[in-house]
Structures are given as C-alpha cells and as structure tokens.
Amino acid sequence: MPVESLSTLLKQLAKEKRSLENQVKDYVLRLERGSKAYHKINDERHIYLAKMSQVSGSHQVSKRQPMNQLHRMKENPVKTERYNPSRSGH
C-alpha cells in the first residue's frame, strides 16, 4: 500500500476515533443526567411514601377510635343507653 493512501486512511481513522470519543462523552453525560434524575425522583418517592404512611397511620388511628367506642357500647348497653330504673320494673 502506498504511503499516501496509508496517510489518508490514518486521517480517516483518527477522525472516526474523535467522533466515537465524542459519542462516548455524550453518552456518559446523558447517563449521569439520567442517574441524577432517577435518584432525585426516587428520593421524592421515598418522601411521598413516608408522608402517605404517616397520613395512613393517623387515619387508621382515627378510624379505630369510633370503632372502639361502638364496640364498647355493644358490650355494655346500660352505660351507654339512658338507663331509667322505673321502666325496668314495668
């Protein structure tokens, strides 16, 4: 192969190498941005889930209180109903 064609081939290969290096740099930047975005969203998701868990927990407590009161009323109707001793004797 003549020296001139080898020189031309070398220039082409060097140009292709630079192009590929630039593509790799671009992909690295995209990957870093994507990773940062993922971590940011994932952190926000954890915060959201923690808040939902707190709200759900407090909602469950507030739900239980009326149910506990209803349960107590069923167990002991004398305490919860208006007790009238004159009616019980008929």
Residue 10 confidence (pLDDT): 98
Residue 88 placed within a domain = no
Residue 75 placed within a domain = yes
Residue 72 confidence (pLDDT): 67
Residue 86 placed within a domain = no
Spell out, as residue ranges, where the chain has pLDDT lower than 50: none
Q: How far apart are CA 31 and CA 9, in angstroms?
A: 32
The number of folded domains in the chain is 1
Angstrom distances, CA of residue 53 to CA of 3, 4, 49, 67: 73, 73, 6, 21
Residue 49 placed within a domain = yes
Place of tokens 């149910």: 67
Residue 84 placed within a domain = no
Residue 48 placed within a domain = yes
Q: Which domain holds residue 28?
A: 3-79
Place of tokens 């190498």: 17
Residue 87 placed within a domain = no
| pLDDT per residue as tens digits for the range 20-40 | 999 999 999 999 999 999 999
Residue 90 placed within a domain = no
